[in-house]
Amino acid sequence: MNELAANRKIPIIKIKDFLIVSIQVDMHDRLAIELQAQILEELSRTGAKGVLIDISVLEMVDSFIGRMLSGMASMASIMDAAVVIVGMQPAVAITLVELGLEMPGVDTALNMENGIAMLEKRLESQSELYKPNGA
Amino acid sequence: MTAAYAVKDLKLRVEKIEDVLAAVAAGDKDVRVNSETEDDFSGVEFAIDLLIDDLMDELDQKEKTQKEMEKKLATIQQQQQTIRQQQDDLLELSSPVTKVWDNILILPVIGTLDSRRAQIMMENLLDKIVQTGCTYAILDITGVPTIDTQVANHLLKTVTAARLLGGECIISGISPAIAQTIVHLGIDLSSINTKATMQEAMKTAFLSNNHKSSELNHDEEESPREMK
Amino acid sequence: MFESANVVENKQIEGFSIESELDIVKARQLVRNIAKQLHMGIVDQTRITTAVSELFRNMFQYAGGGEVLVESGVHNGRDAVIVTCIDHGPGIADLDSAMKDGYTSGKGMGFGLPGAKRLVDEFQIDSRVNEGTTVRVIKWI
């Protein structure tokens, strides 16, 4: 059910098959890297198939944080998990585009509901592949 | 007798005048000769004091005018800022974003599209996407005959930013002239979702929308989302 | 190394040093707050904050830190926020390449400068090898 990862500076919550991370603070670089490591650790520990990272409170995503997020998506996919960034603010999106920072391999959703739907759909289509006789 | 007396002090008095003038040149506004003697030379001393008085008056006047001009300049700059703000507000009002269906926004653009307007439209549209949670936004530029490269870049930026947010922006009604501008800019048209008419764009959005929702409801008892 | 910012009527001046990562976070909050106070539009606020974040990080990573000056006032006839970063680090040997997109000096320095330049209205840089670098960015209100 719900697992609250204790002793984490940024809480990572598990709901169903997914991890939910809500970034509420302006992170310095080291904290961002630590978060990346924590998330991967939790993925490994729980076997979760997806991570939803809520950045709706973040007023700024610079090149370092941006690269941390895309890095996380790549690393998570190696562990057979998908990362969805949720709740990006319009000003942040515009600035990222102007910075020239594309985030390849990073899925995004407008809100948590859409994000979860996206991950569930992905899981569903993945499991379809393994259904015997294509039923 | 009088002549000799006058000459004796004359050297001193001339030196005093020289000192006073030097002090004025150095910036002393209050110094004057202030002669207390009354003879043939005191007329000159008095005249010099009057000259200095006039000079100081003129300087004061100049300073006052300078200050007034600076004040006026500040006021004008403030007014310019206000005008700019009002123009932006007008631009925002002239490009309303409307929600149609469940999950689709429409922004019809009519008339000249300049860089400033495109910028405001972009911010407006992205804000609305986030506020309403609508995944699809249709930017219809049927009513726009031409755009320059800056505006084309803004459009591209809008599409890319919308995608980053988790939405999708479709541009409809691109005129041949605009298509040329975009291609000449080296923008990869396949990176933007475009449709010839607003109707086609709406159809695409609607179909994608329903496809999504019907997949979601695949295993559920509920009937597929109703059309409003 | 730098001409003065030509600011008339300085409304506000703040100076501080960057010596740690936490300083970077504090510094960009400060810039954001100043821009906010001056009623800069929200997207522009984000642009200038992001731009200086790149500069502060560069300064910290490649020069071990430095000084920052944040000014606001009238610059060339417009209300603006001006941020100047001064370090006494190794300097940038090839400025032209550093200002080109995607340039890496082996440590991923690429994004910082060209990216920041795109986000601001005026960008000035002066760098001398073994002496240091000064970067100034200006954003109109």
Contact list, C28 vs chain A (CB under 8 Å): 26, 60
Tell me the average pLDDT of chain B: 86
**Buried b / exposed e along B187-211 (16+ C-beta atoms within 10 A):** beeeebbbbeebeebbebbbebbbe
Residue in chain A nearest B213 by alpha carbon: A117
Contact list, B123 vs chain C (CB under 8 Å): 43
**DSSP label of B111:** S
- pLDDT (0 to 100) of residue B214: 56
Tell me: pLDDT of C141 over 50.
yes
Which residue of A29, A90, A94 is in closest CB contact with C57? A29
- Using DSSP, state whether B97 is helix, strand or coil: coil
pLDDT band at C111 (very low <50, low <70, confident <90, very high): low
- pLDDT (0 to 100) of residue B218: 44
Give the CATH number, domain containing residue C100: 3.30.565.10
Tell me: pLDDT of B190 over 70.
yes
Mutate to test the interface with B, among C40, C43, C47 (most CBs of B within 10 A): C43
**DSSP label of C78:** E
Residue C23 belongs to some domain of the structure: yes
Give the number of other Cβ atoms within 10 Å of residue A113's Cβ.
11
Q: Identify which of A120-124, B47-51, C77-81 has the greatest average pLDDT.
A: B47-51
- pLDDT (0 to 100) of residue A127: 79
Are B81 and C74 in contact (CB < 8 Å)? no
Tell me the average pLDDT of chain C: 87
pLDDT band at B165 (very low <50, low <70, confident <90, very high): very high
Residue C42 belongs to some domain of the structure: yes
Tell me the average pLDDT of chain A: 88
Over residues A69-89, mean pLDDT: 94
Which residue of A97, A108, A120 is in closest CB contact with B166? A108
Same-domain status, B203 and B138: yes
Tell me: pLDDT of A104 over 50.
yes
pLDDT band at C140 (very low <50, low <70, confident <90, very high): very high
Domain carrying residue C82 = 9-140
Residue B227 belongs to some domain of the structure: no
Residues 6+ apart with CB under 8 A from B3: none
- pLDDT (0 to 100) of residue B129: 97
- Using DSSP, state whether B101 is helix, strand or coil: coil
Distance between C129 CA and the closest CA of chain B, angstroms = 37
Are C79 and B123 in contact (CB < 8 Å)? no
Residue B222 belongs to some domain of the structure: no
DSSP A116-128: HHHHHHHHHHHHH
Mutate to test the interface with A, among B165, B192, B208, B215 (most CBs of A within 10 A): B165
Domain carrying residue B111 = 98-216
Tell me: pLDDT of B227 over 70.
no
Cα distances (Å, whole numbers) of residue C12 to A33, B209, C74, C82: 35, 51, 11, 10
Residue B226 belongs to some domain of the structure: no
What is the pTM (predicted TM-score) of this model? 0.79
Domain positions in chain A are: 3-134
Same-domain status, B57 and B126: no
- pLDDT (0 to 100) of residue B221: 43
Give the CATH number, domain containing residue B127: 3.30.750.24
pLDDT tens per residue, range C14-65: 899 999 999 999 999 999 999 999 999 999 999 999 999 999 999 999 899 9
Query: How much is the ipTM here?
Result: 0.88
Tell me: pLDDT of B222 over 60.
no
Alpha-helical (H) ranges within chain C are 21-37, 42-63, 95-98, 112-119
Over residues A56-63, mean pLDDT: 95
Residue B223 belongs to some domain of the structure: no
Same-domain status, B85 and B105: no
Same-domain status, B52 and B112: no
Contact list, A60 vs chain C (CB under 8 Å): 28, 32, 46, 49-50, 53
Over residues A18-39, mean pLDDT: 94
- pLDDT (0 to 100) of residue B86: 87
Tell me: pLDDT of B224 over 80.
no
CA angle A111, A116, A121 (to 5 degrees): 130
Residue in chain A nearest C116 by alpha carbon: A99
Same-domain status, B149 and B65: no
Residue in chain A nearest C52 by alpha carbon: A62
Q: Which residue has the higher pLDDT, B79 or C2?
A: B79
* pLDDT above 70 coverage of chain C, percent: 85
Tell me: pLDDT of A1 over 50.
no
- pLDDT (0 to 100) of residue B155: 93
Mutate to test the interface with B, among A84, A94, A108 (most CBs of B within 10 A): A94
Domain count of the fold of chain B: 2
- pLDDT (0 to 100) of residue C102: 60
* pLDDT above 90 coverage of chain C, percent: 65
Distance between C119 CA and the closest CA of chain A, angstroms = 7
Question: Please, what is the end-to-end C-alpha distance for chain C in angstroms?
Answer: 27
- pLDDT (0 to 100) of residue B3: 57
Residue A24 half-sphere exposure toward CB, CA atoms < 13 A = 7
* pLDDT above 90 coverage of chain B, percent: 48
Question: Architecture of domain A3-134 in CATH?
Answer: 2-Layer Sandwich (3.30)
pLDDT tens per residue, range B1-47: 555 555 557 888 999 999 999 999 999 999 999 988 888 888 899 99
Handedness of CA A25, A31, A36, A39 (dihedral sign): negative
